[in-house]
A = this chain, B = another copy of it.
């Protein structure tokens, strides 16, 4: 009996006998149910709307029995599975409480006098940790084509004498845009040994551009390059708080001394390990994202609202006015979109939900246009 058929049977049985087991379990195991779109539409945080893959849900339920045990074995098992998937040995991998912990560690592990060099705008966690740690920040505006200004960033680092932490988010958040890999590679190849370069590939799987590729070869060949990945996006595990770094073993050892002990929750570790193997779910994520993103971009085209080319699960588009006003009105409709990302205060970042959710969002946009709000 296949799972779906069994779950239907379970529903009937559960109803007959009080429904406790069914009520407890079926929703946990089921993929996201079909049915009416729920409000609020949660399109603010670049979450994968599909939810955990079925194997990951099952893995969580099995792991509950180990929830009282420290996660040492589960950590090692996931590290080894990640290493196998990346074709490296386990000593090239470290886990973080989300990729954000890796970014925090990268900041903390640098000498205090080294500046932190980032694009503007980019993922805000790095500037935030740098500020908390009292580090000097250097923000280099994106170029007109929304790529990182690698040339200018290199000049800033050279001006600081070479000792710097560089953060490259590719594809970039909040713009969704790519920086040419050749430009990044040239820097990684030639960078001063005192420059640490962190390449965040959180949206790696969503970027289907033929010229896009991972910087993993440089993380393996150079001690000052750190690759960062996350389970939050393609694996739909933003709530599970797991990310990882790939780097040379000596680099990993150095970074690990700054990590929080026992990071990685037993249930999340089990879910992540199961999800790593589910290639079919990843294809489904990509297909859903493509279809839903097309609904959005077609609507934006119809309304003449410029949008940046998206290589991610979100789209940055123009507004005729201030994003803060727009967001407030959307919130009143039960639609949550991205917060303002200065200096882009007349652009909105909207995350890609399910196709049915994006169809509803497109209707809201058309209605906003009719009211002169978009």
Q: Is the CB of B17 within 8 A of A26?
A: no
Q: Mark A259-284, 1 if CB is under 8 A from B, else 0.
A: 01111111110010000000000000
Q: Which one, A68-76, A78-86, A290-298, is touching chain B?
A: A68-76
> Mostly helix, strand, loop or mixed at chain A's interface?
helix
Q: Is the CB of B28 within 8 A of A61?
A: yes
Q: How large is the interface on A (under 10, 10 to 19, 20 to 34, 35 or more residues)?
A: 35 or more
Residues of B within 8 A of A238 (CB): 68-70
Copies in the complex: 2
Q: Is the CB of B237 within 8 A of A65?
A: no
Q: How far is the CA of A266 from the CA of B238 in the complex (A)?
A: 9
Residues of B within 8 A of A172 (CB): none
Residue ID in chain B nearest A72 by CB atoms? B45
| Residue of A133, A258, A268 with most chain B CB atoms under a 10 A cut-off | A268
Q: A64 at the A/B interface (Cβ < 8 Å)?
A: yes
Residue ID in chain B nearest A108 by CB atoms? B108
Q: Is the CB of A28 within 8 A of B267?
A: no
A260 partner, pick from B25, B62, B104, beta carbons under 8 A: B104
Residue ID in chain B nearest A109 by CB atoms? B132
Q: How far is the CA of A236 from the CA of B64 in the complex (A)?
A: 11
Shortest distance in angstroms between A96's beta carbon and chain B's nearest beta carbon?
8
Q: Mark A220-253, 1 if CB is under 8 A from B, else 0.
A: 0000000000001000111111000000000000
Q: A47-B70, A240-B265 are in contact. List 18 more A-B contacts (CB 8 A).
A: A7-B21, A10-B13, A10-B17, A13-B13, A24-B62, A28-B61, A45-B69, A51-B65, A51-B67, A52-B67, A52-B68, A61-B64, A67-B236, A70-B238, A97-B241, A97-B262, A108-B133, A240-B267
